[in-house]
Structure 1
Amino acid sequence: MKIKIKLLSVCILGSGFSGFETVQAYDLPVVNLGFTSFLDGGPPAGSGWYFQEYFQSYSADRLRDKDGKALGLPKQQLDYQVAVTQLTYLSDIRIGNAALGMNALLPFVTRMDVDDGLNNAAIKGQSGFGDLLLGPMIQFDPIMGPDGPRFVHRIELQVNLPTGKYDSKHDVNPGANAWSFNPYWAGTYWFTPKWTASVRAHYLYNGKNNDPGPGFGDADDIQAGQALHANFATEYAVTPQLRLGINGYWLKQITDTKVDGHEVSGRREKVWAIGPGAMYSFSKDDHVFLNAYFEQDVENRADGSRVQMRYIHHF
């Protein structure tokens, strides 16, 4: 697409690159790629309030087209840092063997550097607050075995609200200027009391952006395609406090983006990533995660790596 790129890796999305025939897509809004990892199927300390803070640094030196080839720009550098604040409440309201709860997340892009080798004639970005994410959830009770929990899982109906900073004159924006519905199922299975595996699987449906970026010319609206994405992880408790393991994520766009209601082919995104991770528990109420991800088989997206730290506190 000569028209537009959405550069999204964690909490960033953009609205367009113009003037280059080789540019093809990057339309999807921000989604959870690697934010969550170990022991994802349930909260660590039961009901109540949880505070979580994420700090993530992402760096890419390639922007890929639909064939996985680098775009025809002199430079293709994207670096940013983002902080995400999350509040979770797990209530004592019961439905059978499950409890009701609520999540709220707000990202803030603290630093954004883009370099196209053309004095940013092709790519312009900005920092600021991203879109607010809200999600009612149902947390099922763990299934217990003779030596402790064997399986626990959760369903959340997450909605992304277009509250973030957005300017159609910029190519990379913290906000999407469109709502999206991004429900998920998350589960954790204990192979042994020390060894677990976790999966979080999402479906993404996007609303319309009625103020497209400059790369879309006179278009009145765009609607990013639907997608599937998931996080996966496995870890082992080497001590009662320290867990070490492997974490990753996967994304595949499954329908075409629409421009003024018409499907446009050649814009579907895909990526997967894998890397090492660690979790340290100071107590049952305080935990720190450190995760790294290295992206593979990228199409229609930025191609890079990220490092993340996540802190959880239970009140």
Structure 2
Amino acid sequence: MPPASAPETLTRHRPDASGPLLGKLAGLLCGCVLSASAAAYELPAVNLGLTTFIDGAPPAGPGWYVSEYLQYYSADTLRDKNGKSLPLPKQEIEVTSLVSQAIWMSANTLWGAHYGVTLLLPAVLDARADDGLGNLALGKGNTGVGDLIIGPFLQWMPVMGANGPVFAHRVELDISLPTGEYDNRRSVNPGANHWTINPYWSGTYWLTPKWTVSSRLWYLWSGKNTDPNPTGFAAQGIAHARNVRPGQAFHMNFATEYAVTPQLRIGLNGYWLKQTTESEVNGSKLSGSKEQVLGIGPGLLYSFSQRDHLFFNAYKESHVRNRPEGERYVIRYVHHFE
């Protein structure tokens, strides 16, 4: 389906150790939109499970597309770097976010592919956390508009076989600009206050005319946040944080679906994130900061026409490190303009 690099819409500082909520849950609100961490919280927003079935091919031809993503995330377990639950009376997080996307694909080609660009803007509608200890500073969470993502891409149209399409794929270079709302006094922010570069490759293979498998593979690089909360790393022995650079990470979405009818497809979808390098504070590596999560669940796609499509995807998380472990639900609508 159309290109998308939907982000998680909240980002976070490593919290101060002055209280359980600030010390353990502060960053979780931001992360909970699409990711969060119980000990690190440094990774910026990325696409976890927002794109699924037939991802390597557009549903229609060149022109303009719009996509809207409504996402709800909840978690009641916060994991540390060893995958153990944090010792808090309550571990409850709820985040609702909206992601708006515009896509343009040219009728002309370059290197055999249609070229185009996608613009994506996330927004946090609601964010709540409760540690059970009466800490209300972050109970409601922060809301607002996140960082703008720009992604030029090349889309190769499906290779056709005797019975229909066989394979289609796309490459895209997603760049996140630090345009979202940010305040270094807040532990939860819609904006990350640093650049990210997150290129990906996406492909779809038709096992049969009715059965496909798809995957999207990214690698994430982040710039420095030069205005972090200066006391946010006191628990790690860092008296004054001048800058923070999140670690690099690999992440992927994967899905398979079967066409029950010409309009309805059902299947399984999932995501996987693995941080590959430690985050850095003041240029020094922060030991034990790597994040990890796996999410898997059911999904469906209903096509009203070739130009209008509705997705529903659900995920249950496991194999979590430095993040909350919860459930994610995504509703996505795609429209292609004539």
* TM-score normalised by the chain length of structure 2: 0.88
1:143 and 2:165 equivalent?
A: no
1:25 and 2:40 equivalent?
A: yes
1:89 and 2:104 equivalent?
A: yes
Distance (Å, rounded) in 1 between the aligned partners of 2:13 and 2:111 = 45
Query: What letter matches 1:176 in structure 2?
Result: A
Distance (Å, rounded) in 2 between the aligned partners of 1:86 and 1:151 = 25
1:196 and 2:218 equivalent?
A: no
Distance (Å, rounded) in 1 between the aligned partners of 2:111 and 2:157 = 9
Give the alignment of 1:100-119 within 5 angstroms.
100-119=115-134
CA RMSD in angstroms comes to 1.5
1:15 and 2:13 equivalent?
A: yes
Deviation at 1:70, TM superposition (A): 1.5
Deviation at 1:89, TM superposition (A): 0.3
Give the alignment of 1:124-203 within 5 angstroms.
125-203=141-219
The equivalent of 1:211 in structure 2 is 227
Over residues 254-311 of structure 1, what are the superposed CA-to-partner deviations in whole Å (9 max), with x where a residue is unaligned?
0010100011110100000100000000000000000000001100011110111000
Deviation at 1:76, TM superposition (A): 1.9
The equivalent of 2:266 in structure 1 is 244
Give the alignment of 1:38-53 within 5 angstroms.
38-53=53-68
Give the alignment of 1:203-282 within 5 angstroms.
203-213=219-229, 214-216=231-233, 217-282=239-304
Distance (Å, rounded) in 2 between the aligned partners of 1:305 and 1:252 = 18
Please list every run of 5 or more consecutive structure 1 residues that lacks an aligned counterpart in the other structure.
1-8
The equivalent of 2:27 in structure 1 is none
- Does the 8 A contact of 2:39 with 2:323 survive in 1? no
Distance (Å, rounded) in 2 between the aligned partners of 1:10 and 1:211 = 20
- Does the 8 A contact of 2:148 with 2:178 survive in 1? yes
Q: Secondary structure at the match of 1:158?
A: strand
- Does the 8 A contact of 1:16 with 1:170 survive in 2? no
- Does the 8 A contact of 1:17 with 1:122 survive in 2? no
Distance (Å, rounded) in 2 between the aligned partners of 1:246 and 1:206 = 30
Query: What letter matches 1:86 in structure 2?
Result: Q
The equivalent of 1:76 in structure 2 is 91
Distance (Å, rounded) in 2 between the aligned partners of 1:190 and 1:202 = 22
Distance (Å, rounded) in 1 between the aligned partners of 2:16 and 2:272 = 28
Deviation at 1:122, TM superposition (A): 7.2
Please list every run of 5 or more consecutive structure 2 residues that lacks an aligned counterpart in the other structure.
1-6, 25-37, 234-238
Cα 1:17/1:62, change in 2 over 3 Å = farther
Deviation at 1:123, TM superposition (A): 4.5
Deviation at 1:17, TM superposition (A): 2.4
- How many residues align structurally? 307
The equivalent of 2:335 in structure 1 is 313
Over residues 210-233 of structure 1, what are the superposed CA-to-partner deviations in whole Å (9 max), with x where a residue is unaligned?
111241341100000000000000
Distance (Å, rounded) in 2 between the aligned partners of 1:51 and 1:238 = 26
Query: What letter matches 1:12 in structure 2?
Result: L
Deviation at 1:121, TM superposition (A): 5.8
Query: What letter matches 1:291 in structure 2?
Result: N
* TM-score normalised by the chain length of structure 1: 0.94
